[in-house]
């Protein structure tokens, strides 16, 4: 076979593609084009063409916010299908209604062993969608959808999980210090919901609430994620928080939970919380929210 100038040998392309997929599988937080170029020593032009082809076939995905590449649905189906398939579910009605009412990305997460996985998803109706997909592992320290489940685990397990993992700095706002995270989880547990504001992805806002089963355990969480520009007022954030709390309460009831739920925060209280917080994390605010007794 004659290889023209600028054309790469087929087997060389395959080897490079496999090296890219291997690199992405080891970096769940995602990798930029420049990082792949540097780490794999592949020319920028070549790796850009390779990523574009892999993206076309759904083997890689590129976040519209962070510009990072991660494994796509086709690659995840190869590596994680058997591991998580039994846990993936059709979106429950409360998640469907949350997505319909908000127009934003609504999803259900579940703790599987020591990981929190997105097991069900309703995509946003907006043209600019967020990078969340079924089967995705949510970082325990940086995602509200993961922390909401972690907040209800035993303290010893929480500390072990947080200290035993690499706590990636996804953005300048990512919480990484273990004691700060443990204190934050206590506030999450007390207030009944968690907020993630440009911690996992720049200019992305998310809120999550716990789902209780019939025995009062929290194995799952319901989350809503939106581009921060679409949630730029205290009133809108309060409205979305109320929607998520209501969806989590509905799903908890459907699972047989009969205890008290943190679903009675009224819009005025929530709005005051977000107004007081301003650009800071709302859980640093002095505003007190009532919890059911």
Domain for residue 254, yes or no? yes
Kind of pairing between the strands at 105-112 and 115-122: antiparallel
Q: Residues 97, 103, 107, CA angle at the centre, nearest 5°? A: 60
Indicate if 23 and 62 belong to the same structural domain: yes
Indicate if 63 and 115 belong to the same structural domain: no
The confidence score (pLDDT) of residue 264 equals 54
When divided into structural domains, the chain yields a total of 2
Domain for residue 291, yes or no? no
The confidence score (pLDDT) of residue 112 equals 87
Domain for residue 214, yes or no? yes
Q: Report residue 224's pLDDT band, with 50, 70 and 90 as the boundaries.
A: very high
Domain for residue 290, yes or no? no
> Do residues 82 and 94 lie in contact, with contact meaning Cβ atoms separated by under 8 Å?
no
Write the pLDDT tens digit of every residue in 189-214. Answer: 988 999 999 899 888 999 999 999 99
Indicate if 117 and 253 belong to the same structural domain: yes
Indicate if 73 and 97 belong to the same structural domain: no
Angle between helices 33-40 and 10-25 (to 10 degrees): 110
Q: What's the count of helices (H) and strands (E) in the chain, helices before strands?
A: 10, 8
Q: Compute how many other C-beta atoms are within 10 angstroms of the C-beta atom of residue 3.
A: 10
The confidence score (pLDDT) of residue 117 equals 93
Whether residue 283 has pLDDT greater than 70: no
- H or E element that contains 245: helix 234-254
Query: What's the average model confidence in pLDDT over 140-158?
Result: 94
Write the pLDDT tens digit of every residue in 74-95. Answer: 776 665 444 556 677 899 999 9
Q: What are phi and psi of 292, to 5 degrees?
A: -60, 140
Q: Report residue 286's pLDDT band, with 50, 70 and 90 as the boundaries.
A: very low
Indicate if 121 and 211 belong to the same structural domain: yes
Domain for residue 83, yes or no? no
The confidence score (pLDDT) of residue 81 equals 44
The confidence score (pLDDT) of residue 284 equals 55
Domain for residue 3, yes or no? no
Indicate if 44 and 115 belong to the same structural domain: no
Rounded to whole angstroms, the Cα distance separating 279 from 138 reads 24
**Cα 138 to the center of its chain, rounded Å:** 5
Question: What percent of the chain lies above the pLDDT cut of 90?
Answer: 49
Whether residue 290 has pLDDT greater than 70: no
Indicate if 100 and 203 belong to the same structural domain: yes
Whether residue 106 has pLDDT greater than 60: yes
- Domain housing 173: 88-284
How many angstroms separate the most distant Cα atoms in the chain? 77
Indicate if 120 and 66 belong to the same structural domain: no
Domain for residue 4, yes or no? no
Mark which of 19, 49, 78 sits at the end of a domain. 78
> 64: domain CATH number?
1.10.10.10
> How far is CA 140 from each of CA 87, 120, 178, 291, rounded to the nearest angstrom?
18, 18, 11, 25
Whether residue 63 has pLDDT greater than 80: no
> Do residues 135 and 82 lie in contact, with contact meaning Cβ atoms separated by under 8 Å?
no
The confidence score (pLDDT) of residue 94 equals 96
Mark which of 78, 105, 123 sits at the end of a domain. 78
The confidence score (pLDDT) of residue 146 equals 97
Whether residue 113 has pLDDT greater than 50: yes
The tokens describing 197, both together, are 């504001």
Angular region, 232: left φ>0, alpha ψ -120 to 50, beta rest: alpha
> 277: domain CATH number?
3.30.450.40
Whether residue 118 has pLDDT greater than 60: yes
Indicate if 99 and 184 belong to the same structural domain: yes
Indicate if 243 and 116 belong to the same structural domain: yes
Rounded to whole angstroms, the Cα distance separating 92 from 249 reads 13
Indicate if 243 and 135 belong to the same structural domain: yes
Domain for residue 292, yes or no? no
The confidence score (pLDDT) of residue 84 equals 57
- Mean pLDDT over the full length of the chain: 84
DSSP, collapsed to helix, strand or coil, labels residue 138 as: strand
Indicate if 140 and 260 belong to the same structural domain: yes
Is this model's pTM higher than 0.85 or not? Answer: no
Mark which of 78, 111, 128 sits at the end of a domain. 78
Whether residue 171 has pLDDT greater than 60: yes
The confidence score (pLDDT) of residue 12 equals 78
> Do residues 109 and 138 lie in contact, with contact meaning Cβ atoms separated by under 8 Å?
yes
């Amino acid at each position: 076979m004659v290889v023209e100038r600028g054309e790469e040998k087929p087997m060389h392309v395959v080897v490079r593609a496999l090296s890219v997929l291997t690199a992405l599988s080891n970096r769940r937080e995602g990798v930029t084009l420049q990082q792949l170029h540097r780490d794999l020593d592949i020319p920028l032009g070549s790796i850009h063409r390779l990523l574009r082809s892999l993206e076309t076939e759904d083997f890689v995905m590129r976040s519209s916010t962070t510009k990072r590449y991660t494994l796509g649905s086709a690659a995840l189906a190869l590596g994680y299908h058997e591991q998580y398939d039994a846990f993936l579910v059709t979106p429950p009605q409360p998640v469907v209604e949350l997505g319909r009412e908000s127009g934003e990305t609504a999803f259900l997460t579940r703790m599987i062993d020591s990981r929190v996985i997105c097991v069900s998803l309703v995509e946003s109706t907006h043209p600019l969608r967020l990078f969340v997909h079924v089967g995705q592992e949510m970082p325990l320290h940086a995602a509200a959808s993961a922390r909401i489940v972690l907040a209800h685990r035993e303290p010893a397990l929480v500390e072990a999980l947080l200290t035993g993992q690499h706590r990636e700095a996804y953005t300048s706002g990512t919480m990484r210090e273990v004691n700060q995270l443990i204190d934050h989880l206590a506030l999450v547990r007390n207030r009944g919901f968690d907020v993630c504001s440009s911690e996992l992805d720049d200019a992305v806002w998310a809120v999550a609430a716990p789902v209780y089963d019939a025995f009062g355990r929290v194995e799952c969480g319901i989350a809503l994620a939106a581009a921060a520009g679409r949630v730029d007022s205290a009133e809108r954030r309060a409205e979305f928080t109320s929607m998520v709390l209501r969806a989590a309460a509905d799903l908890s009831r459907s699972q047989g939970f009969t205890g008290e739920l943190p679903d009675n925060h009224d819009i005025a209280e929530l709005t005051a919380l977000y107004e007081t917080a301003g650009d800071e994390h709302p859980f640093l605010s002095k505003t007190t929210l009532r919890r059911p007794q």
